[in-house]
Structure 1
Amino acid sequence: MGISISDELLGTFAPIVVYWVYSGIYVLLGYFENYRLHSKKDEDEKNLVSKGTVVKGVLLQQIVQAIVAILLFTVTGDEVGAVDGPRSSLFVLARQFITAMLVLDTWQYFMHRYMHHNKFLYKHIHSQHHRLVVPYAFGALYNHPLEGLLLDTIGGALSFLLSGMSPRASIFFFSFATIKTVDDHCGLWLPGNLFHTFFQNNTAYHDVHHQLYGNKYNFSQPFFIMWDRILGTYMPYSLEKRAAGGFEARPTRDYKDD
């Protein structure tokens, strides 16, 4: 007799497992300098926080996310169960996923941008994430606990609720969103990466934001760049080969330090 795992349990813990497995793959690939946006030496020397501290910070955020997910599934169990019936066609799932992506992007853009422009919030909260001057995969969710709650956990809860997806659909959506945000922070420009093909909001795009010159630009995450385009915070860049191997994302126009 097999062990049955509920959709709610999978929806809570699958994204966490995906985060560490996918990050681990990128850690191994990071030893190939020809794929890196920054050298391994820069990763070790320029970042202002140890990898051990990053791991502990991410685990804390994931514990909070798991608690909120369990509470959310418990409270909404009766309502969301209905979408697992005959109406759960591919069209319905696609609509739910697109809605969730737009909700998450909108929430994170405005919260993220506000944390940069509010000096108190940046200094005491958001600057923790920017201790990673050279981003790497498992640092994607390294944030101040309050930021993790506001941006990621509440943003995820809103996208789940407003899209009307079921716990089963959420397994796939949040696992996909996790893979995407890990990819955005991995610091690698890999040939054949489908995220780079289908999303302008990609590893190089977000790397620009982590540099001093891009600190007030490219706020969008994790899927689209529409709000940066609409509100004038988009920084165009070109991808240039570094003499020592790998690539570098360089801005293609002057910027102003607001």
Structure 2
Amino acid sequence: MAFGVSDELLGTFVPIVVYWIYSGIYVMLGDMNDYRLHTKAEEDTKNVVSKRTVVKGVLVQQAFQIAVSLILFTFVSESSGGAIRPQPAFWVTVLQFVVAMVVMDTWQYFMHRLMHVNKFLYKHVHSKHHTLVVPYAFGALYNHPLEGLILDTIGGAISFLISGMTPRTAIFFFSFATVKTVDDHCGLWLPGNLLHILFNNNSAYHDIHHQLYGTKYNFSQPFFVAWDKILGTYMPYSLEKRKGGGFEARPIKKAH
């Protein structure tokens, strides 16, 4: 297996390093009780899997991710005759970034929703992710390996191919998508968080989905909320201060 430049390898491994560094920052911040969406006691009692199990599960998914990524980059390299693809103009790169975001959102919305609608898939596949009723940062990719392959790995490959981005652009895109996914599961509402300012799909929005009343809503991930709004699965919420510290995302729409 040969690559013309190291961008392919960087595109494979940098997002994984980013995952553990960014989620590690949240771990180092400590309990952050004044900014939590759930109390520490709820995290300890409602989640039915140990953090050691979560780490092992994430590493398994990332192993699959590495394998598929290397195969994909090999295919792209061979299809271009091993030639190094020139980096396009900046505006083209931005357009590719946006296209990849839309494609990934579309793929993950419909696959994620299918995982909930299909009782077999939910029971045997997606329910593993929902054992984290109270999400935390390094549990963002705690999934059944099949779910990780379908939603994240294949979704990422499709985004890469349809957008036409180069392996160098892919380094930044997949690193950004990784940061966004970790942030959505961090369980915190931090003041000044740019991702919360720029995106309505955020930690509070996704927390609604992880609660029992929200499992039929807020399927969109990781960037926008458009598909939820278009297809009637959007559950708005209010963010209110919780007695004793922290915040609580409360649904406004009555769940059926």
The TM-score normalised by the length of structure 2 is 0.95
Give the counterpart letter for 1:193 in structure 2. N
Percent identical: 71
- How much does 1:44 deviate? 1.1
Residue 128 of structure 2 is aligned to residue 128 of structure 1 = yes
User: What is the SS of the residue equivalent to 2:249?
Assistant: strand
Deviation at 1:155, TM superposition (A): 0.2
Counterpart CA distance in 1 for 2:200 and 2:247 is 17
Alpha-carbon displacement from aligned partner over 1:140-159 (angstroms, at most 9, x marks no partner)? 00000000000000000000
Q: Return the alpha-carbon distance in structure 2 between the equivalents of residues 198 and 74 of structure 1.
A: 35
Superposition deviation, residue 252 in structure 1? 1.0
1:249 is paired with a residue whose SS is strand
**By how many angstroms is 1:51 displaced?**
0.4
CA displacement at 1:45 relative to structure 2 = 1.1
1:13-32 correspondence runs (5 A): 13-32=13-32
Letter in 1 for 2:199: F
Partners of 2:22 and 2:129 lie apart in 1 by: 20
- Tell me the distance in 2 between the aligned counterparts of 1:30 and 1:205: 22
Structure 2 residue matching 1:160: 3-state secondary structure: helix
Q: How far apart, CA to CA, are the structure 2 residues paired with 1:185 and 1:50?
A: 16
For structure 1, the residue ranges without an aligned partner over 5 or more in a row are none
Distance 1:128 1:197 in 2: 30
- Tell whether the 8 Å contact from 1:236 to 1:251 is kept in structure 2 after alignment: yes
In structure 2, the residue matched to 1:84 is 86
Matched AA of 1:218: N
Q: 1:107 is matched by which residue type in structure 2?
A: W
CA gap of 1:81–1:242, structure 2 versus 1, over 3 A, is farther
Structure 1 residues 30 and 234: alpha-carbon distance in aligned structure 2, compared to 1, 3 A threshold: farther
Structure 1 position 41, deviation (Å)? 1.3
What corresponds to 2:148 in structure 1?
A: 148
Contact 2:19/2:179 (8 A) holds in 1? yes
| Matched ranges for 1:59-74 at <5 A | 59-74=59-74
Distance in 2 (alpha carbons) for counterparts of 1:9 and 1:253: 45
CA contact (8 A) 1:83 1:165 kept: no
Q: After the TM superposition, which parts of structure 1 deviate over 3 Å for at least 4 consecutive aligned residues?
A: 78-83
Partner of 1:180: 180
Question: 2:5–2:84: 8 Å Cα contact kept in structure 1?
Answer: no
CA displacement at 1:29 relative to structure 2:
2.2
Q: 1:83 to 1:229 in 2, by over 3 A?
A: farther
Structure 2, unmatched stretches of 5+, are none
State the one-letter code of the partner of 1:43.
E
RMSD of aligned alpha carbons:
1.4
- Aligned partners of 2:229, 2:125: CA distance in 1, in Å? 26
* Alpha-carbon distance, 1:84 to partner: 2.1
Asked if the contact 1:81/1:166 (under 8 Å) is kept, the reply is no
